[in-house]
Chains A and B, each alone.
Chain A
Amino acid sequence: MELQLEFFLLLAAALFCIGIYGLVTSRNAVRVLMSVELLLNAVNLNLMGFSNFLDPQEIKGQVFTIFVITVAAAEAAVGLAIILAIYRNRDTIDMEQFNLLKW
């Protein structure tokens, strides 16, 4: 059986769904960030798959992937900084404790 684009896309979609599940259900804020990383990686998988199967000459997808990894790193850094800032104030990183801005 030959590897097909659909397999990559399905895998990426599965990874994305797992990431979303983690993003929405995790109580730990760091785990939320980790889920975000999963999402980004699922995206990267998509980009790589499309790049290999549809655009093998110019591989623009791979360039996009590099940018995504870069920005994801920066985003993770900022995200951890935000979590740290919140933690300093509230002594917890439980997402359910951060519901001050409601109705």
Chain B
Amino acid sequence: MLQFFSQTIWLIPCYALIGAIFAIPWSPGLIRRTGPRPSGYINILMTFVALVHSIFALVEVRQTGTQFFSFNWLDAASLQINFEMIASPVTVGALILIAGLNFLAQIYAVGYLEMDWGWARFYSLMALFEAGMCALVLCNSLFFSYVILEILTLGTYLLIGFWFNQSLVVTGARDAFLTKRVGDLILLMGVVALLPLAKTWNFQELAIWANTVELDPRLATLLTLALIAGPLAKCAQFPLHLWLDEAMEGPMPATILRNTVVVSTGAWVLIRLEPVIALSSFTINTALWIGGVTAVGASLIAIAQIDIKRILSYSTSAFMGLIFITVGIGEPQIAFSLLLTYAVAMALIIMSLGGIILNNISQDVTQYGALWSRRPVSALCFLVGVGSLVALPPLGDFWGLAELSNTLNGPFLGILLLVNGAIAFSMARVWGLMFTGDPTPMTQRSPEGLWALVLPMTGLAGIALHLPLILSQLNLLPEFPLLTETPVLLLTASTLIGGSAGLVIYWNRNRKGAVTLGSQALQDFFAYDFYTAKLYKLTIVFAVDIISQIIYWIDRFIVDGVVNLVGLITVFSGQTIRYNTSGQTQFYVLSIILGIALLGITLCYPFFDQLNFVLN
């Protein structure tokens, strides 16, 4: 009995898949009379089952230790591909996180999608995500991690394109798919190149291989660069970050999932590949600087946004940049615990702001004000989420960030402090703009949400508040003396300085109109996301577009033209040669005679020198 739940841990992705399949019949075209709600209830039930199963499994795994499972997927010639699974405390903990967040997000969606008929599609896709992510964390093989990442990319496309009659949704879903696809494809190059070198795709064996192998530095660099390209796009890092901004067109409950766990799937693969990536110091530096630049850039962009959801999406990019830095310095354990605490905190923030958007319609923070007195529960949950997101002792992310700050030095410690301060500032800005000040026309009447919105939000706030206790139970908290180190104190100070600066600027009753930076150009530069859309359009999109047009032209006129020319030549020659049939019998006779003469000359040519006797 003790082994039952961990032995059947492979069932957890299957629960969600079953939910996904059972939701489909409630599509408006199939069951026409009852409405779509049962699809949601089934999926919530299945997610709950998965959650309970993974909790029991965690209890077992903590007693019995890590377990490995494997079944044969493909056995062809010299290639054997096994679907390998690992049930360790970390992976089962991640299962709980995924199933738990999905459970809360699905309950949230019951309230949020009250006025929507597309439950079947929505819940199927949410379940597909849950199944994909559970399979990803269980999966112990790089190959199948890639497979699942690709399925999740397709899922992202479909889920962002949920309300596909809106044009921005269509372009956003397109960009999300293509951007993530590019990263995945480069990752595939790395995955394929890795097999002949390492002879395995198993993460543990890869780590062992990476510890002993001596690779040509250039090969190692190219290989590891390809391997970080996939997570780069998945985690919305510079320069492949625009998709996450445009993905904010999707439904809010899906955003909860995407901003917390789906972007983390890339980080998950990155963390597990850390031993391989460590083969190349160039790649490590690349990862560090990509993470650093993204973290700083995205956290500054987030300050300049007026769209609530976009503020959150850039904060997500920034935080994933910190994860990149963590992996870059070779600290997978810190990265895992940061992912855990970050997911809880960000989900809480998105839930609280999403509930406000649902009742107040606008997503423009400048249209808001004075929600504190009207929405105290949302406001408190927002505060708890923000406290967990930035380094504010004793809440969640503080511990991970503190450990991180202690291992960092040089410019990256500065980046961490700056990013932490900037996120604190931008969240204080959201607080100041939305919850304080005078009521605006949009917020004159702002009732607290339905129970289905508030219950998961407050539940998650409870989890966020208990997170330090949970971490200490799991022995994930750092030792106490660490907390008095200078970097940790600096980190806390950056939070306080950033947050209080935001509050001073935006919680100011005398403030009139929008806060402006000195330079309008600089402000626009951040507000328009460094003009990334324009940059894409002028570089890669332009190049691919022009090349495809040239190739189309070549195809249309040169390749087609050559073949058509053959046809034209035969038609033309037929049209011309027919005039040989002149209708003149004598002409025919002439051609017969000429033909005979020609044939005679050809046949007799070898004997011409014997004709000399005539002349003699």
Q: Tell me if B213 counts as interface (CB < 8 A to partner A).
A: no
Q: Are the C-beta atoms of B582 and A102 separated by less than 8 Å?
A: yes
Q: Which of B578, B579, B586, B590 is the one whose CB lies under 8 Å from A95?
A: B586
Closest to B582 in A: A102
Q: Tell me if B581 counts as interface (CB < 8 A to partner A).
A: yes
Q: A6-B614, A20-B593, A24-B593 known; A103 and B578 CB under 8 Å?
A: yes
Q: Are the C-beta atoms of A95 and B614 separated by less than 8 Å?
A: no
Q: Of A20, A32, A101, A103, which is in contact with the most chain B CB atoms at under 10 Å from its CB?
A: A103
In residues 29-54 of chain B, which contact A (Cβ within 8 Å)?
none
Nearest chain A CB to B572 CB, angstrom units: 15
Q: Which of A6, A10, A24, A103 is the one whose CB lies under 8 Å from B586?
A: A24
CB-defined contacts of A6 to chain B, threshold 8 Å = 613-614
Q: Are the C-beta atoms of A100 and B583 separated by less than 8 Å?
A: yes
Give the complex CA separation of A99 and B586 in angstroms.
Answer: 10
Q: Which of B583, B586, B589, B590 is the one whose CB lies under 8 Å from A101?
A: B583
Q: A6-B614, A20-B593, A24-B593 known; A98 and B579 CB under 8 Å?
A: no
- Residues of B in contact (CB 8 Å), total 13
In residues 595-616 of chain B, which contact A (Cβ within 8 Å)?
613-614
In residues 46-103 of chain A, which contact B (Cβ within 8 Å)?
95-96, 98-103
Closest to B577 in A: A103
Give the complex CA separation of A95 and B474 in angstroms.
Answer: 114
Q: A6-B614, A20-B593 known; A32 and B582 CB under 8 Å?
A: no
C-beta contact mask, A18-30 vs B, less than 8 Å → 1, else 0?
0010011110000
Q: Tell me if B539 counts as interface (CB < 8 A to partner A).
A: no
Q: A6-B614, A20-B593 known; A25 and B586 CB under 8 Å?
A: yes
Give the complex CA separation of A101 and B580 in angstroms.
Answer: 12
Nearest chain A CB to B92 CB, angstrom units: 87
Q: Are the C-beta atoms of B590 and A24 separated by less than 8 Å?
A: yes
Closest to A98 in B: B585
Q: Tell me if B584 counts as interface (CB < 8 A to partner A).
A: yes
Nearest chain A CB to B585 CB, angstrom units: 7
Give the complex CA separation of A20 and B593 in angstroms.
Answer: 8
Closest to B591 in A: A24
Give the complex CA separation of A76 and B615 in angstroms.
Answer: 37
Give the complex CA separation of A33 and B574 in angstroms.
Answer: 33
Q: Of B583, B585, B586, B614, which is in contact with the most chain A CB atoms at under 10 Å from its CB?
A: B586
Which of under 10, 10 to 19, 20 to 34, or 35 or more describes the interface residues of A? 10 to 19
Nearest chain A CB to B232 CB, angstrom units: 70
Closest to B614 in A: A6
Nearest chain A CB to B573 CB, angstrom units: 14
Q: Of A24, A26, A101, which is in contact with the most chain B CB atoms at under 10 Å from its CB?
A: A24
Nearest chain B CB to A33 CB, angstrom units: 12
Q: Are the C-beta atoms of B584 and A96 separated by less than 8 Å?
A: yes
Q: Are the C-beta atoms of B583 and A99 separated by less than 8 Å?
A: yes
In residues 552-597 of chain B, which contact A (Cβ within 8 Å)?
578-579, 581-586, 589-590, 593
Q: Are the C-beta atoms of A23 and B583 separated by less than 8 Å?
A: no
Q: Which of B584, B593, B613 is the one whose CB lies under 8 Å from A99?
A: B584
CB-defined contacts of B585 to chain A, threshold 8 Å = 95, 98
Give the complex CA separation of A53 and B585 in angstroms.
Answer: 37
Give the complex CA separation of A10 and B585 in angstroms.
Answer: 28
Closest to A10 in B: B614
CB-defined contacts of B579 to chain A, threshold 8 Å = 103
Give the complex CA separation of A102 and B584 in angstroms.
Answer: 8
Q: Which of A10, A20, A23, A95 is the one whose CB lies under 8 Å from B584?
A: A95
Give the complex CA separation of A6 and B611 in angstroms.
Answer: 11
CB-defined contacts of A26 to chain B, threshold 8 Å = 586
In residues 248-298 of chain B, which contact A (Cβ within 8 Å)?
none
Give the complex CA separation of A21 and B578 in angstroms.
Answer: 25
Closest to B593 in A: A20
Q: Of A26, A32, A100, A102, which is in contact with the most chain B CB atoms at under 10 Å from its CB?
A: A102
Give the complex CA separation of A6 and B616 in angstroms.
Answer: 11
Q: Are the C-beta atoms of A23 and B582 separated by less than 8 Å?
A: no
Nearest chain A CB to B607 CB, angstrom units: 15
Give the complex CA separation of A100 and B581 in angstroms.
Answer: 11
Q: Are the C-beta atoms of B614 and A103 separated by less than 8 Å?
A: no
Give the complex CA separation of A24 and B613 in angstroms.
Answer: 31
Give the complex CA separation of A69 and B92 in angstroms.
Answer: 114
Q: Are the C-beta atoms of A103 and B593 separated by less than 8 Å?
A: no
Q: A6-B614, A24-B593, A103-B578 known; A32 and B583 CB under 8 Å?
A: no
Q: Are the C-beta atoms of B581 and A103 separated by less than 8 Å?
A: yes
CB-defined contacts of A23 to chain B, threshold 8 Å = 586, 589
Nearest chain B CB to A29 CB, angstrom units: 9
Q: Are the C-beta atoms of A102 and B586 separated by less than 8 Å?
A: no
Nearest chain B CB to A23 CB, angstrom units: 6
Closest to B575 in A: A103
The chain B residues found within 8 Å of chain A, CB to CB, are: 578-579, 581-586, 589-590, 593, 613-614
**The 7 residue pairs across chains A and B that have the minimum distance between CB atoms:** A102-B583, A99-B583, A103-B578, A24-B590, A103-B581, A24-B586, A101-B583
23 contacts between A and B (CB under 8 A): A6-B613, A6-B614, A20-B593, A23-B589, A24-B590, A26-B586, A32-B586, A95-B584, A95-B586, A96-B584, A98-B585, A99-B582, A99-B583, A99-B584, A100-B583, A101-B581, A101-B583, A102-B581, A102-B583, A102-B584, A103-B579, A103-B581, A103-B582
In the complex, besides A96-B584, A102-B584, A103-B579, 19 extra interface pairs with C-beta distance below 8 angstroms are A6-B614, A10-B614, A20-B593, A23-B586, A23-B589, A24-B593, A25-B586, A95-B584, A95-B586, A98-B583, A98-B584, A98-B585, A99-B583, A101-B581, A101-B583, A102-B582, A102-B583, A103-B578, A103-B583
